[in-house]
Structure formats: structure tokens, C-alpha cells
């Protein structure tokens, strides 16, 4: 028995603020809607059931809320998005008429990367940054297991003792390693020196475990404490430094996948020694494009900031700049609100990212640290070994359908 194909339902979002504008935009698309069947229109995303559409055409994306695409993807991960960057009905009419003439209903064919080739896991893994100083401890492993963490970020100073215990609990645990060196303000470290200081630590893990292949080279290089103003003066100089270190590593670790590190997000701020992350990233873009993957840091201190593209959803800006790059959120967190609030936010955050294509894992900062001030702000357990409650909420997996 054969079954008829379902109609190819398409929704066109028109950037209209009122009925008059809606009429003008609708008129521009009328010939297109007459030519292709099953085209619907809307100017109010809040009233759309995204599950009912195969394709959504977003006209003038800058008009819409910053998190619109994320909202659509959460409701219907299989939906095909079509972006038309125009700001007037006349331009929309021209583009749609060209599509009718050429037969390319949705414009040029989608050139989105095959994300499964770049990231076989096919989903954003639930990650946690390991202990900030020293080996993972018994209490850390207890938290990791309680949260059913799928990915752990370790500093290169860790040893195989941490890796082996993670593997004993779950052989499939994904491990990302940050090449770690304490710069300190004003210290000049050349690429050769960084390589020589860190190569043996990385080799200890790389050589012993074929699953340790993802290496993040350094951390937040737009901070003075991490080399800015001494080892490099701007993003371009860091990009050159990064590529030189990567080349040195590649000779020793030919199977590794090297990532450019996450930045300290936000504008220049003298009090914390930070150079504007957006400017730094633009200057270092040439190097990021040559990296195997790109690290992103995301922080927030209230509910609104979770989905703000300058805070918790900073990866959205990276995706626009690097549409074909695998991204990892190598640090995220909320250091200010009460732990029960933070736990619930983290659970929702993991769930929101779960099916974002091209996002490999999100690592919450941090399981533990001996720095008591940092521990109270970030850690998932205190230095007495007490779980602060985040792991249990995350471990329940109530926030995603696929555990």
C-alpha cells in the first residue's frame, strides 16, 4: 500500500508591526504563495505551533527576538529554516519572484555542515569542569555520578588516575583537556615555552587513552592574568601565538583536535583586566577559522541573562560568525544566585542546548576548588565534600526527553 505525501507546509514570518505593514509585506509574497501550495503567514511567533511546519522562512531576522531560532529549534528540531535578509517589501518581492523563476523555492540549497561527521555524538553532552586544582577527589566523582555527567573537562595537570576512574564508571565519558599553564599578570610566554611547559602533561593523557583527543589551547586570553598585554597585545597577536602552539602540538599529537579557547565575555573592564571580547574575537577570527573547534564561555547572574546572546546564549553569536565550526561551551555558570535557583537554571540550560546542531558539549564551571571564595560561588560541592544540590536536579533528566 502506498500513502500520499504530506503537504510541504511552509510558514513565512513577516516583520510587520501593525495591520498596514502586514498588508504590504503580504502583498509582496502573494505571487509566491499562489505559485507554491500550503504557504502560511504570521507576524506573531508566540501564536505559532512550530510542530506543524516543515519549513519556516524568516524575513528580516534582525527584526525578531534574539532567541527566536533557538525557540523554533526546541519546539521542532527537524524544521528547516530559510533566512531572507531584506528590510522592505519591494526587496522581498524581488527575491521571491526569482525563486519562482528558478524553481528554488527555498533559495540556494542548504550548505550547512554534516554535523554528525564533525560530532558523531549528535547531541550537546551534559558536561562539568573538573576540579580547578589537583586530581579529581572522591567527592567529585560522587557528584559526577549523581548528575550522570556525560563529559568532563580536565586540566592537563590531571593524571590518568582521574581518567581511569571516570572510565570505570562510564567508559563512554567524553574527556576534553585544557592545556594549562599559570601565566600571571605580566609574564611573557612564547609559543615554544608554552609547548615545552605543557607537552609532557598532555602526552601523559594522550598516550595512555585513545579517547583523549580534544585539546583546548589555553584559557580566556583577553585577560591580563592570562597573557593579554604581555604575551600578546591584541587578538591578532594571540591568533598568531595560538597557531604556532597548535603547529607544535600537531607534530607530537597528530590525532588530536585543537580548539581555540573561550574568552572572558564582555566589554573592556579595567577592574578585572579584561579586553573587550567582541573586539578580541574579531581580531583573532583568522586563527579561529583554522582551529578544529571553538570554545565559548557563557555566564549569567539572573533569569533574563540565560538566553541573552551576550551572556548565557553567547554561542548564538559565535554560530553566526562561524557557521561551519564545531563549538564547545567550555565554561558556563551563575555565580550569584542561590544554589537551588542555579540548579534549576542549569537543568533548563542543558535541556535547551541538547539538540542545538554543531554544539558538542556544555561544561558547567566547576565541580570543586580549594579556593573557598571561588568554591562558594561556582562549585557543585563544598570543600567538606557536601553536595550543594545541583547534581541531583541535573541527574533527574526531567528537562530532556532523551537521557
Average pLDDT over residues 44-62: 91
Q: What pLDDT is attached to residue 109?
A: 67
* Interval 212-271: pLDDT, tens: 999 999 999 999 999 999 999 999 999 999 999 999 999 999 999 999 999 999 999 999
Residues 6+ positions from 320 with CB-CB distance below 8 Å: none
* Interval 153-170: pLDDT, tens: 999 999 999 999 999 999
Domain boundaries, the chain: 10-102, 115-395
* 7 has pLDDT over 70: no
* 202 has pLDDT over 80: yes
CATH class belonging to 115-395? alpha beta
Binning the chain into helix, strand and coil, the percentages to the nearest 5 are 40, 15, 45
Residue owning grid cell 555558570: 333
Instruction: State the pLDDT confidence band at 2, using cuts at 50, 70 and 90.
Output: very low
Question: Maximum CA pair distance of the chain?
Answer: 74
Residue 229 zone, left/alpha/beta (φ > 0; ψ -120 to 50; rest): left
Instruction: State the pLDDT confidence band at 359, using cuts at 50, 70 and 90.
Output: very high
* 391 has pLDDT over 50: yes
Q: What pLDDT is attached to residue 3?
A: 34
* Interval 96-153: pLDDT, tens: 988 888 888 888 766 678 888 899 999 999 999 999 998 999 999 999 999 999 999 9
* 4 has pLDDT over 70: no
Per-residue b or e along 306-322, where b marks 16 or more CB atoms closer than 10 Å to that residue's CB: bbbbbbbbbbbbbbeeb
| H or E element that contains 366 | none
If you average pLDDT over every residue of the chain, what do you get? 92
* 402 has pLDDT over 60: no
Of 367, 365, 294, 376, nearest to 331 by C-alpha is 365
Residues 6+ positions from 374 with CB-CB distance below 8 Å: 132, 366
Question: Is the distance from CB of 27 to CB of 90 less than 8 angstroms?
Answer: no
Instruction: State the pLDDT confidence band at 278, using cuts at 50, 70 and 90.
Output: very high
Amino acid at each position: 500500500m502506498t500513502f500520499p505525501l504530506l503537504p510541504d507546509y511552509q510558514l513565512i514570518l513577516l516583520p510587520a508591526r501593525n495591520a498596514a505593514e502586514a498588508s504590504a509585506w503580504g502583498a509582496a509574497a502573494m505571487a509566491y504563495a499562489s505559485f507554491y501550495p500550503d504557504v502560511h503567514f504570521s507576524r506573531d511567533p508566540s501564536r505559532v505551533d512550530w510542530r506543524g511546519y516543515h519549513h519556516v522562512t524568516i524575513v528580516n531576522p534582525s527584526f525578531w527576538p534574539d532567541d527566536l531560532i533557538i525557540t523554533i529549534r526546541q519546539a521542532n528540531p527537524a524544521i528547516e529554516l530559510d533566512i531572507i535578509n531584506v528590510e522592505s517589501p519591494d526587496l522581498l518581492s524581488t527575491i521571491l519572484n526569482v525563486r519562482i523563476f528558478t524553481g528554488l523555492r527555498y533559495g540556494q540549497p542548504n550548505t550547512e555542515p554534516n554535523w554528525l561527521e564533525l560530532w558523531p555524538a549528535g547531541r550537546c553532552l551534559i558536561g562539568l569542569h573538573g576540579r580547578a586544582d589537583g586530581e579529581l577527589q572522591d567527592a567529585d566523582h560522587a557528584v559526577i555520578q549523581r548528575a550522570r555527567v556525560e563529559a568532563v573537562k580536565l586540566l592537563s595537570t590531571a593524571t590518568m588516575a582521574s581518567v581511569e576512574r571516570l572510565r570505570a564508571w562510564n567508559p563512554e565519558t567524553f574527556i576534553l583537556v585544557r592545556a594549562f599553564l599559570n601565566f600571571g599578570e605580566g609574564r611573557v610566554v612564547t609559543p615554544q615555552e608554552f609547548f615545552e611547559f605543557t607537552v609532557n602533561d598532555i602526552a601523559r593523557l594522550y598516550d595512555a587513552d585513545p579517547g583523549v583527543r580534544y585539546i583546548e589551547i589555553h584559557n580566556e586570553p583577553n585577560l591580563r592574568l592570562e597573557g593579554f598585554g604581555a604575551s600578546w597585545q591584541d587578538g591578532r597577536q594571540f591568533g598568531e601565538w595560538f597557531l604556532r602552539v597548535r603547529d607544535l602540538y600537531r607534530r607530537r599529537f597528530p590525532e588530536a583536535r585543537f580548539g581555540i579557547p573561550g574568552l572572558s565575555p564582555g566589554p573592556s573592564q579595567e577592574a578585572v583586566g579584561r579586553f573587550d571580547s567582541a573586539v578580541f574575537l574579531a581580531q583573532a577570527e583568522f586563527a579561529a577559522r583554522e582551529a578544529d573547534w571553538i570554545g565559548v564561555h557563557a555566564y549569567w547572574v539572573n533569569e533574563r541573562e540565560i538566553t541573552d546572546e551576550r551572556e548565557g546564549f553567547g554561542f548564538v553569536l559565535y554560530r553566526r560568525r562561524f557557521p561551519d565550526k564545531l563549538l564547545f561551551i567550555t565554561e558556563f555558570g551563575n555565580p550569584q544566585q542561590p544554589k537551588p535557583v542555579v540548579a534549576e537554571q542549569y537543568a533548563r540550560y542543558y535541556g535547551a542546548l541538547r539538540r542545538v546542531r554543531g554544539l558538542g558539549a556544555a561544561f558547567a564551571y566547576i565541580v570543586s576548588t580549594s579556593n573557598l571564595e571561588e568554591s562558594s560561588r561556582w562549585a557543585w560541592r563544598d570543600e567538606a565534600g557536601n553536595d550543594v544540590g545541583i547534581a541531583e536536579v541535573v541527574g533527574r533528566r526531567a528537562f530532556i526527553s532523551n537521557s
